[in-house]
Structure 1
Amino acid sequence: MNKDTFDKPLSLLELNSLVAAVVDISLPDEYWVEAELSEAREVRGHCYMELVEKDEFSNTPTARASAKCWASRWSLLRPKFERITGQRLHAGMKVMLRVRAQFHAAYGFSWIVSDINPEYTMGDLARRRQEIVRQLKAEGVFDLQKELRLPLFAQRIAVISSEGAAGYGDFSRQLHDNQGGYIYKVELFAAVMQGEAVEQSVIAALGRIYERVDDFDAVVIIRGGGATSDMSGFDTLALAENVANFPLPVITGIGHERDECVLDMVAFARMKTPTAAAQFLIDNLQRTALRLDQLADRIADRVQRRMDVERVRLVSLSERIPMLFSLVKTKEWGRADRLMQRITTAANRQLVTAETHVDTLQRTIEMSVRRKIDNERHRLELLAQRVEAENPDRLLRRGYSITTYNGKAVRDAAQLPQGALVETHVEKGTFKSRVE
């Protein structure tokens, strides 16, 4: 190393000035560059960007750089870009910039932006949108909202919008000042409606509505004013999935007339403005009222026609009643006579049968009684014979005697006590004896 190098060191300003000169000489031209924005912000009219390029497979940054667009140029580029793309510059956006290299002694290296190609960004946005739509269709949720039906009496409305915004005020006035005098119950679920926080904020609002899903008939998502260009938050997969799967019809009115965002595509109905969204609900109730009026007219007409028919029928019946009564009377008298004859015949037949049965029973009873009397007479004769055979008088006449002690016949002499007085019965008389 040359010793003079240490004897005469350069100041940082001198060194940076050398680098600036080298950059100016080596990179005198402007270049178109494709990159992704990792950050974009405006300060005092200038636009400051952080550019990044990521690996296709790992998504790891492979290159980074800073870029600036000075206010004098940015004031011309910004309106054109936002008018064509419908969006502001934001992180994650793919851009094509025309840049030139600049190395500033005090601020270092950066790319100075002189132009921006909105068609390139439009193409990237379209590709992203198509990819989201393709994924939603693959999941089978893209058309779920279209399969829902808006209730005929949709009057309980949950609104997702920024609190105090002009769009929400326009929606409420349009809804409540309707010519039909219909009454709506509107409840606001505040959310961020522009910037990077849109996705999570709106999803959170949908979650709060879902917790009370039975309290509402439909959901309306409207932008509360804000820049028409700031629409990136409505082109996200997560928000589209939440809306597509929501159980209530979701109506959008986010003021994006030039093109549909993904949220518009999956919603039940897409309106251009908050006022149009309110009118959509009013028209629905007007159609319901008209249908009810038509049904009421049809019911009244049918009732009137039925009444006319019944009136004619009653007149006809009233004219036929005397003749019909006479016919019915004659018919019923004949029927009564036939019934009386049948009853008389049946009664006579029953009486004859009963008399025959009584006669049969009488003969049977007489024979049974007679047989019973004969049997009992014979049994009495046998008993009389037995009684006669057992008669003590008969034994006495044959020479036998009966001795009693205390009124009982003596069968065993050993049972008589000494001196007992006994009585002996013979055929002719009795006598008493004392036992010795």
Structure 2
Amino acid sequence: VWEMNRELPLAPVVQRVAVVTSPGAAGYQDFRKELARSPYRFELTLFEAFMQGAAAEESIVEALCAVAERAEAFDAVVLIRGGGARSDLSCFDGYRLCTHIAQFPLPVATGIGHDKDTSVADLVAHTALKTPTAVAGWLVERMAQADARLDQAALQLHDATIRAMRASEVRLVQLAGEVRQRAGECIARTAMRLDRLGERLPEAVRALLERQRTRLDSVAELVAGRSPERILRLGFAVVRAGGRAVVSAAAVRPGDRLQIELADGRLEATAGSDTKSGAGCDAGPKSEIRPAIRSDSEN
């Protein structure tokens, strides 16, 4: 039981403070003045109680119960009073009060104001100081320590940031060098490839042109083999009547003027009639060509 309140963790920054005391006590005024002289801001909430007399113990217990109902709103509790006769401090040795302090859910700091004697409340409290002014100084000192830790943390953060930035700058320089090197290597490989392609391009173009020339020669030969002039040189003739090619004897009537195109010139002829029968059957009259024996060269 003696160590229960002392073992409670104390917040690094104690700013929200529940104050259990008499509002008219000189110790309370000293406490406030000491805090006001510091550069820090504290949130003080007063819970009034009698600090001496027969009703003091019960009054302080009731004040502590009121604090406990709002425990989440505070970082710690201070129990303070001004100096006085030793007999006036008997309430701080009471079993009920000391049990409440020992089992209280928040750290309790005492400043009962008696330099020579120590009460049971001092023994079971988290932190025991002699006077309200000393309690205020303790709170200010904790704030100063927290402030120093923040300054140190800020300095460490600043240094870490500078180191990280410098490391990043070095890394960026390295990456830039790697990028330039790899880009140069890529450009060199591409240039070599282009050079090789440039060396192979004329030969590839010549081969392509040769293939196309061979193909064109084959096409030209095929076209020449099917040209009308070649067909005429093979002994064929083109017969026209009225400027149109004659493709059927039935399309020619006796007496029609015909133009006959040969390989070496043209002839004109007059269509006659042929009454000879076919092989084994009667045949009707057929046209008979009677050449006029005139070539274009005679004109």
TM-score class, shorter:
0.5 to 0.7
Deviations 1:345-365 (CA, angstroms, capped at 9, x unpaired)? xxxxxxxxxxxxxxxxxxxxx
**Cα distance in 2 for residues equivalent to 1:169 and 1:243:** 23
**Is 1:192 the equivalent of 2:87?**
no
**Cα distance in 2 for residues equivalent to 1:284 and 1:153:** 7
Q: Call closer, same or farther: CA 1:224–1:258 in 2, change over 3 Å.
A: closer
**Cα distance in 2 for residues equivalent to 1:301 and 1:204:** 51
Q: Call closer, same or farther: CA 1:328–1:226 in 2, change over 3 Å.
A: farther
**Is 1:268 the equivalent of 2:126?**
yes
Q: Identify the match of residue 4 of structure 2 among 144, 169, 174.
A: 144
What does 1:229-244 correspond to in 2, within 5 Å?
Answer: 229-244=87-102
Q: Call closer, same or farther: CA 1:326–1:170 in 2, change over 3 Å.
A: same
Matched AA of 1:157: V
Deviations 1:38-86 (CA, angstroms, capped at 9, x unpaired)? xxxxxxxxxxxxxxxxxxxxxxxxxxxxxxxxxxxxxxxxxxxxxxxxx
Q: C-alpha displacement at 1:276, in angstroms? A: 0.2
**C-alpha contact 2:83 2:114 (8 A) present in aligned 1:** no
**Cα distance in 2 for residues equivalent to 1:258 and 1:229:** 13
Structure 2 residue matching 1:164: 3-state secondary structure: coil
Q: C-alpha displacement at 1:328, in angstroms? A: 5.8
Aligned residue number for residue 173 of structure 1 = 33
Matched AA of 2:6: K
**Is 1:292 the equivalent of 2:134?**
no
Q: C-alpha displacement at 1:227, in angstroms? A: 3.0
Q: C-alpha displacement at 1:217, in angstroms? A: 1.1
Tell me, which stretches of 5 or more residues in structure 2 are unaligned? 191-299
CA RMSD between the two structures:
2.0
Aligned residue number for residue 317 of structure 1 = 175
Aligned residue number for residue 422 of structure 1 = none
Q: Call closer, same or farther: CA 1:318–1:236 in 2, change over 3 Å.
A: same
**C-alpha contact 1:218 1:250 (8 A) present in aligned 2:** yes
**Cα distance in 2 for residues equivalent to 1:298 and 1:236:** 49
Aligned residue number for residue 78 of structure 2 = 220
**Cα distance in 1 for residues equivalent to 2:59 and 2:35:** 25
Aligned residue number for residue 18 of structure 2 = 158
Q: Identify the match of residue 248 of structure 1 among 96, 99, 106.
A: 106
Deviations 1:79-115 (CA, angstroms, capped at 9, x unpaired)? xxxxxxxxxxxxxxxxxxxxxxxxxxxxxxxxxxxxx
Matched AA of 1:175: L
**Cα distance in 1 for residues equivalent to 2:95 and 2:132:** 23
Matched AA of 1:255: G
The alignment covers a number of residue pairs equal to: 191
Structure 2 residue matching 1:147: 3-state secondary structure: coil
**C-alpha contact 1:228 1:255 (8 A) present in aligned 2:** no
Structure 1 residue matching 2:63: 3-state secondary structure: helix
**Cα distance in 1 for residues equivalent to 2:189 and 2:72:** 66
Matched AA of 1:272: K
Q: C-alpha displacement at 1:201, in angstroms? A: 0.9
Deviations 1:231-260 (CA, angstroms, capped at 9, x unpaired)? 111112111110111111100000122232
Structure 1 residue matching 2:118: 3-state secondary structure: coil
Aligned residue number for residue 302 of structure 1 = 160
Q: C-alpha displacement at 1:300, in angstroms? A: 0.6
**Cα distance in 1 for residues equivalent to 2:183 and 2:5:** 67
**C-alpha contact 2:84 2:114 (8 A) present in aligned 1:** no
Q: C-alpha displacement at 1:228, in angstroms? A: 4.4
Q: Identify the match of residue 258 of structure 1 among 104, 107, 116.
A: 116
Q: Call closer, same or farther: CA 1:316–1:191 in 2, change over 3 Å.
A: same
Q: Call closer, same or farther: CA 1:328–1:199 in 2, change over 3 Å.
A: farther
**C-alpha contact 2:82 2:131 (8 A) present in aligned 1:** no
Deviations 1:375-397 (CA, angstroms, capped at 9, x unpaired)? xxxxxxxxxxxxxxxxxxxxxxx
**C-alpha contact 1:161 1:224 (8 A) present in aligned 2:** no
Identity, % of aligned pairs? 44
